[in-house]
Each structure stands twice: as structure tokens, then as C-alpha cells.
Structure 1
Amino acid sequence: MGGLRRLFAIVGKEVRQLRRDRLTFGMIAGIPVLQILLFGYAINTDVRHLSAAVADQAQTSLSRELIAASQASQVVDIRARVDTARELERMLGRGEIDVGLLIPADFGRRLADPSRAAGQLLVDGTDPTIPASARQLAALELGYDSTPKPARREPVYEIRNYYNPERRSAINIVPGLIGVILTMTMVLFTAVAIVRESERGNLELLINTPVRRIELMIGKILPYVLIGLVQVTLILLLGAWLFDVPIRGPLLHVYGAAGLFIAANLTLGLVISTVAKTQFQAMQMTFFFFLPSILLSGFMFPFDGMPPAARYLAELLPLTHFVRLIRGIMLRAAGLGDMPGEVLALLAFTVLTLAVAVGRFRKTLD
């Protein structure tokens, strides 16, 4: 009986402690709810409404019918019309479109020949889901007003997979993996920074120094920026050595994008550090941020397959913008200047979270 009383006393103590720790109690319910919402509502592997542009060099009724059928399939949304294949390639390189529809001037003759593809799909192969979705367009069939439809042996569209013609998964995964690893490590490093100072008693020493809040925050960040760049270098070297992952864009731009992303995650970690009371709470909050980042950023699941609400949420996550940047630089040979929106998003996130962290931190013990 005495043993049972002691056992129940310990259980009661743990229950009371959980009731006081509202953050942990919230995680107990929050993590399952978040996962069921993300996997059940936001994650959709049936990708539609890919952004597309078309170059109709034939300008015939049949070419217009093909464009209309492609739009009606809901696989693509045609958002621009250009004149040449080079313009389509330029838009692909800048990440402005996912698919380019090229209809050549001899489209009618090609369509009448069942052994040849009549048009081409220029596909961004940096995301493996885009070529798979674009293949649905190849099965399109065009009607002929009064002419019997020939039995086609070849699809209407020939697919040209840009940037990853061999369709090797490592080429798609490794650039995005840089962002996943940095998110996991950088946020956690600074998330426990202020909490650790308080638990070890070092915060009392900082209170009595003339160090300002902004100086403390930046001082906490700078060493980890260097650590993050070392991680980036290690991943790039292993990716090139083991998987032959190319770096087609300027290496300086790769490190520039990585530096912006590292700073964004470190400042977010500082915000978490000013909210959490213990290192365990800081790790819980880091995991709570990491889960939607990896699922909604486009690294694991297609971004275009998500509902609008999930895409709006994903635009608030640094990993979403970094995945676009790093894939564009490494695989499409783009530069930071080709994707100014992604750069500005990371800068804005960094400035905002640093301001919040500085505003929340007080050099007091209460």
C-alpha cells in the first residue's frame, strides 16, 4: 500500500506540473491537430493549375483549340503569351512559369502525322512533380470538325524536361535539403540561447553590463551564421561528390541565399527564446515550427497542389522562399537578381523577427 501511495503521489505531481506548463499541454493537442490538418487538407499530390505560358507560332484554329483544351484540363493556367521558345526558356529560368507550351509553325502538318508529336511542353524539372503532372497534357485529344481523327501513336505534346533531363531525384532533393537542415539546426541553436543564459545564471552578468539589447541579439546570431555556412559547404561538397549535383549558378549567390536564410532562421530562434521559459519548451516550439515548414515549403509535396489558404501560410515561411532560391541558382543557373521577390521576403522576415526579439527581451530576471 505504501508503494502505491508513493506511486500515485508521483503521478499527481506530474499531472499538476503538466497543468502548470500550458505550452506543453498545448503541444499535446496542437501537434496531432496540426498534422491532421496539414496531411488531410493542405497536402495534395494531384497537382493542377501549374503556371504556364504559351508560344503559338502556328496561329491556326487547331492550335487555338489545343491551347483551349490545355487550359480546360486544369493542369495548367496560361498566364502569358509570347512569340518564341527562347522567351519561354527565359521565363522558366527565372521561375516565372512551371510549363511552357510551344506550338510550332508547322503544327497542322505535324498533327496530321501520327508518328510525330505536334507540339512541345517545356517543363521545369527542378520540382519532380511538375513533369509528372505535365504528362497528363500529352494524353489530350483534339477533335476534327469534318475530318476523321487519325489514330495517333505519338502524344500531341513532346515533353522536354529542363534542368534535370535524367530525372535523378538527388538533383531535386539535395538543394532543398540544405534548407531543411538549416531550419532544423539554426532555429534550435538560438531558440535555447536566452533560456540557457537564464538557466545557467549568466543572464545576471549580462544585466550588469552596458551591452544593449540589439548588440546582444546580433552577438548571439553571428557565430551561428558561420556555423550555418560550414553546414552549407559540407552539403554542397557531399552532394557534388556522392550524387553529382550541379551548381549551375554563381557560387557566391548560393552563399548569399544561404546567408539570408540562416539569418532568418536565427532571428526566429531568438523570438522563440524570448517566449520559452525552459530549454525543453524552446525545443517544443522549434519542432512546432519545423513541421509545417517542411510540409508546406514545396520541398516534400508540390506547392501548386495545395489549397489557397495553405499557400498563403507557406508564403510566410522562410523555407518556401529559400527552396525556390536555391533550386533556381543551383539548377536553373539563375541569380539572386532574377528572383527579387524571394530575396525581399527573406530580408523582411529577418528584420521583422529581429525587431520582435529585441522588443521582447528585457535585461531583467522577472
Structure 2
Amino acid sequence: MRTLINVIAEKEFIHIIRDKRTLALLFLLPLFQVIIFGYAVSVDLKHIATVVLNRDGRYLSRELVRSFINSTYFDIKYYVLERKLAEDLIAKGKVKVIIEIPQDFTRRILRNEPAQINICIDGTDPNPAQTALNTASAICQSFGTKIVVNRIRFTSLVDLRPRVYYNPGLKNSNFMIPGIIGVLLQILIPILTAVTIVREKEKGTLEILITTPVKRYEIILGKLIPYVVIAFIDVVLVLTLGSILFQVKIVGSTVLLLILSFFFLCGSLGLGLFISSISQNQYQAFQMIVPLFPLSVILSGFIFPREGMPAILYGIGYIVPLTYFLKVLRGIILKGIGIETLYTEVIVLAIYTVFCITLSIVTFKKKIQ
């Protein structure tokens, strides 16, 4: 009995070793997950991109800014002289926080009067927003008790006036609902496309269809159109349920949202078609799709803020298409911004879509010829 078991086990080991894709999945995927989850998933958010509008410009106001920098929770990316410039930066997603120091900040402290500063926070992602709010409050409170000018100690209240943009209640649903749309189009649609076409190849129905007078591009379009319809139904369903159940309203243009969703959907369909073209069976298709989950869900900022990631993983996140599409979704739905602000993300997504469609059509045509 043991001999037969050993023979079968040995045969299975040989089969696994010869299957390079399975071997890579068994050993590389755990390593990949440890690195991604260990480094990218962080609840201690630091290095929040910040812009400073210092109308005072004197010593004490500069010391306050330095206190924010020394905390390591705030990375001062920009110094501006006009509030509109600061608000444009937060609308574009280049910063998460605006620190505004009024002209009379130093004068009021030297008079032992409460000195006010304003802090505006991008609330589209509640986690870094809450961290920024709590940390800024602690910094201001500590700064007010440690002011020394010409060896004279001043104790003054630094009155922090916070304002949360786009999501004043810091509701997680406002953050998650747009992200669900992106994940559906990035993950679900390629899976459905790849697995369905590969299953037809396994059954031989695709080869039968090829022998008919139907042209190659007609086969491709005919296969993809149902998934376009399904995807748009999913998008509308998520938006409707988000509005009814969680009061997540679309602040920007619904038409622009649907148009850009369509372009991103085309790229996802192209990705699914490409995977189906190079896969021999459904198992291989799943092997190729599995790595998309941690990459898309974690590195894109769908759940975990990208600000808490190491620089390497933060940079890798820029090659994930969902990273840009999430900015489009949250920008239109929560911020109400238009294509004039999102042009960088739109260009990147257009390149992704054209690349995936071209690659998929070329490989799929070669496969069915």
C-alpha cells in the first residue's frame, strides 16, 4: 500500500515540477503576499502630502510649520501664496492637507492671545484624513505650550480651525462605493472574459464558430459586447445602491463618469481577452489572474492609503491602472472635478486601454487562425 502511495506521490511531484506556472504560483505567490501585506498594509499613516499657505511669514509661524515637518506625519510638498492654488492642489489629489497660517499669527501669540490657524483636509479617504486631523490638533496644542522668544516663555492657545473637504462626516461608504466600481471593472470583467472564452476553447465550440463565415473581428466583438452590457449594469447598480443605502451622491458629471468607465472597461476586456489567448485551460487563466487581486486591491489605494506604503511599493502602484481609475471615480463622484483636472489620469488610462486592446486582438487573431 505504501509503495503505491509513494509512486503516486512521486508522479504528482514530477507533474508539479514540470508545470512551471504551478510551481511559480506555489512559491512566488506566498512570497509576494508577505511582501505586499507586510509593507503596504500599514495602519500608522505618515508622510501625508501637504501644502502650506503662510500669510504671516515670521519666525513663530515658520517654527509651527517646522513642528508639522518634524512630526513626520506631514510632508510639505508645496508652499503657495494664494488660497486658490492650494485648493487646486487638493482638488487634483496632489496634496491631502492645506495648512493656512493667518497674517496676525505671531502678533497674537506675543500678546498672549489665542492664535488661529486653518487646516483643510481631503476627506475622500477617511483614514489619512482622521490621522491628519488628530495629529494636527496634538501638534498645535503642544506648540502653544513651548513658545520661547528672547528667553521669554509664552503660553498661548493655538486655535486649530479644521475643515474637511468632500466628505465632512468622514464616512467610509463615501470612500468605498467608488472603489467598488473600479475593482469590479478591473477584476471581475477580465475573469469573466478570460474564463468564458477559455471554456469555449476547451469544449471546441470556438473552433466550430471559426469555421463559419463569421469574420474574426465579428467573433471578437460579439464575444465582448455582452460583458460591456453586464459591466454597465453593475456600475449603475452600485451607484444606485450607494445613493439609496449610503447617500453617496455623484457631485460631478454622470455622463463623464460613464464615458471614462467605458474606456477603462475596454482595457479590462482587452486584458481578459489577452489572458484567454495565452491560456490553454481555465486553470491557467486563473493562475494569471490571481496576482491581479493583491496588486489592484492593495497597491491602488482601494482600501489601504498609499501614503503609508514604502517608496518602492508606492512607485509600483503607479503601474496599476486601477490607481488612476480610482482617482477618476473619487474625483468625479466626491469632488465634482472635471476632465480638465483629471487629464493626466485620462491620458494614462487611454494608453492602458489602447495597449490592452491592441495586444489582445493581435494575440487572439493568431490563436484562432
Q: TM-score, normalised by structure 2?
A: 0.88
- Measured in 2, the distance between the counterparts of 1:114 and 1:138 equals 19
- Measured in 2, the distance between the counterparts of 1:157 and 1:183 equals 41
- Measured in 2, the distance between the counterparts of 1:143 and 1:239 equals 48
Q: What residue number does 1:44 align with?
A: 42
Task: From 130, 133, 141, give the equivalent of 1:132.
Answer: 130
Q: What residue number does 1:145 align with?
A: 149
Distance 1:237 1:113, change over 3 A: farther
Which segment is superposed worse, 134-143 or 296-305?
134-143
Deviations along 1:199-249, one digit per CA (max 9) or x if unpaired, are 121232344356665554444333212211110110111111111112111
Q: What residue number does 1:179 align with?
A: 182
Note if 1:283 corresponds to 2:281: no
Shift of 1:339: 0.9
Whether the 8 Å contact between 1:193 and 1:220 is mirrored in structure 2 is no
Whether the 8 Å contact between 1:117 and 1:158 is mirrored in structure 2 is no
Q: Which amino acid aligns with 1:144?
A: V
Distance 1:46 1:333, change over 3 A: same
Structure 2: tracts of 5 or more residues without a match: none
Whether the 8 Å contact between 1:138 and 1:158 is mirrored in structure 2 is no
Distance 1:58 1:343, change over 3 A: same
Distance 1:110 1:255, change over 3 A: farther
- Measured in 2, the distance between the counterparts of 1:214 and 1:95 equals 40
- Measured in 2, the distance between the counterparts of 1:261 and 1:139 equals 42
Q: Which amino acid aligns with 1:331?
A: L
Distance 1:28 1:335, change over 3 A: same
Q: Which amino acid aligns with 1:308?
A: A
- Measured in 1, the distance between the counterparts of 2:299 and 2:192 equals 23
Whether the 8 Å contact between 1:176 and 1:299 is mirrored in structure 2 is yes
Distance 1:6 1:244, change over 3 A: same
Q: TM-score, normalised by structure 1?
A: 0.89
Distance 1:238 1:313, change over 3 A: same
Q: Which amino acid aligns with 1:137?
A: A
Distance 1:144 1:334, change over 3 A: same
Note if 1:326 corresponds to 2:325: no
What aligned pairs does 1:206-221 form with structure 2 within 5 A after superposition? 206-208=209-211, 216-221=219-224
Distance 1:248 1:364, change over 3 A: closer
What aligned pairs does 1:244-255 form with structure 2 within 5 A after superposition? 244-255=247-258
Structure 1: tracts of 5 or more residues without a match: none
Whether the 8 Å contact between 1:324 and 1:342 is mirrored in structure 2 is yes
Q: Which amino acid aligns with 1:188?
A: I
Whether the 8 Å contact between 1:52 and 1:79 is mirrored in structure 2 is yes
Partner-residue secondary structure (3-state), 1:246: coil
Partner-residue secondary structure (3-state), 1:118: strand
Partner-residue secondary structure (3-state), 1:336: coil
Shift of 1:296: 0.7
Which segment is superposed worse, 353-362 or 260-269?
353-362
For the aligned residues, what is the CA RMSD? 2.6
User: Percent identity at matched positions?
Assistant: 35
Distance 1:112 1:167, change over 3 A: farther
Deviations along 1:301-360, one digit per CA (max 9) or x if unpaired, are 111121222122111112111111111111111123311111111111111122222332
- Measured in 2, the distance between the counterparts of 1:35 and 1:112 equals 54
- Measured in 2, the distance between the counterparts of 1:191 and 1:19 equals 25
- Measured in 2, the distance between the counterparts of 1:235 and 1:83 equals 41
Q: What residue number does 2:243 align with?
A: 240
Task: From 158, 161, 164, give the equivalent of 2:161.
Answer: 158
Q: What residue number does 2:92 align with?
A: 94
Distance 1:207 1:299, change over 3 A: same
Distance 1:352 1:49, change over 3 A: same
Q: What residue number does 1:119 align with?
A: 117
Count of residue correspondences? 363
What aligned pairs does 1:1-366 form with structure 2 within 5 A after superposition? 1=1, 11-12=9-10, 14-111=12-109, 116=114, 118-134=116-132, 135-140=134-139, 141=143, 143-146=147-150, 148-151=152-155, 157-208=160-211, 216-363=219-366
